[in-house]
Amino acid sequence: MVHWSAEEKQLITSIWGKVNVEECGAEALARLLIVYPWTQRFFDNFGNLSSPTAIIGNPKVRAHGKKVLSSFGEAVKNLDNIKNTYAKLSELHCEKLHVDPENFRLLGNILIIVLAAHFTKDFTPTCQAVWQKLVGVVAHALAYKYH
Amino acid sequence: MLTAEDKKLIQQAWEKAASHQEEYGTEALIRMFTTYPQTKTYFPHFDLSPGSDQIRGHGKKVLGALGNAVKNLDNLSQAMSELSNLHAYNLRVDPVNFKLLSQCIQVVLAAHLGKDYTPEVHAAFDKFLSAVSAVLSEKYR
């Protein structure tokens, strides 16, 4: 089980409390598809992904980004039990979606950059460290049930 | 491969960073040491406490080298040849760490440029830092 100090939990919940999940999720997913275009391989049915503008404006990208980041909120609510929280999603990503877990790490890093751009100097080095730890734990949990 | 458009975006973004090399370099290193403590193993000879002159000096050096790379986007390998040798034969920093520092440099840029760190700039810069990392590791073996 991952250990979180009281300070770490505080940094996570205080940032999360100010995140607009819909906006942030849409932004993070759009950036993933733009910065690492090969990730588009999972979204053939999303329609127009032909340019950054198209991706950012794509309603399916926005909706899916919101879904993904909402799910991330479950980790924030269950910091002491992240592995179990994501057990079913892990199986889904392996058995149905066939997503290489490397993609979880890529998205995690992108999320950090989105948070930095949004919170600017409030996203201190300590904040970044805690959030990188969190995205790492989530990525690990999502890969845990792979077989 | 860096396209003409990438190069333009990189140069434009760098204009905003150029006068803050020491500040941004220092911040990137501090973020790296805080977030990825294993990176400190390469600096046993440094004072890593807050406000350290050595970190400031080194941050300025690293960003200065990146600035030089930005001026030489068409021949990175040649422009960074000495640094490439240094990393291969003297420093021998495991290349996985270039990704960690790249992430922290991007976080610094995002934190200071805010929404000016657009998805397009982000993509171009990510490619640029990957290219620099590749050049730094190209003589390793």
Q: B123 and A117 in contact by Cβ < 8 A?
A: no
Three state DSSP letters for chain B: CCCHHHHHHHHHHHHHHHHHHHHHHHHHHHHHHHHCHHHHHHCCCCCCCCCCHHHHHHHHHHHHHHHHHHHCHHHHHHHCHHHHHHHHHHHCCCCHHHHHHHHHHHHHHHHHHHHHCCHHHHHHHHHHHHHHHHHHHCCCC
As a residue count, chain A comes to 147
pLDDT at residue A80 in the model? 96
pLDDT at residue A1 in the model? 82
Segments forming the whole domain that contains residue B87: 4-137
Give A7's contacts in chain B (Cβ within 8 Å).
Answer: none
CATH number at residue B109: 1.10.490.10
pLDDT at residue B1 in the model? 86
Residue of A nearest to B110 (CA): A117
Mean pLDDT over residues B28-51, rounded? 94
Residue B50, pLDDT > 90, answer no
Phi, psi of A9 (to 5 degrees): -60, -40
Distance CA B70, CA B74 (A): 9
Q: What number is the ipTM of this complex?
A: 0.85
Count CA atoms closer than 13 A to B32's CA, side-chain side.
Answer: 28
pLDDT at residue A31 in the model? 98
Please give the tally of structural domains in chain B. Answer: 1
Angle between helices B53-71 and B4-17 (to 10 degrees): 150
Domain at A6-143: CATH code: 1.10.490.10
**Nearest CB to A120 within list B30, B35, B111:** B111
Structural domain boundaries in chain A: 6-143
DSSP-based three-state secondary structure for A44: helix
Averaged in consecutive runs of 10 residues, what is the pLDDT profile of chain A (147 residues)? 95 97 98 95 95 98 98 96 97 93 96 98 97 98 95
pLDDT digits (tens, 9 = 90+) for B3-15: 999 999 999 999 9
DSSP-based three-state secondary structure for A19: coil
Tell the burial category of A42 from Cβ atoms under 10 Å away from its Cβ (0-12, 13-18, 19+): middle
Preferred mutation among B31, B125, B129 to probe A, highest tally of A CBs within 10 A: B31
Question: Tokens representing A47?
Answer: 């329609």
Least confident of A128-132, B53-57, B86-90, B105-109: B86-90
pLDDT at residue B51 in the model? 86
* Predicted TM-score of the model (pTM): 0.91
**Nearest CB to B114 within list A35, A120, A125:** A120
| A18 phi-psi bin (left φ>0, alpha ψ -120 to 50, beta other) | alpha
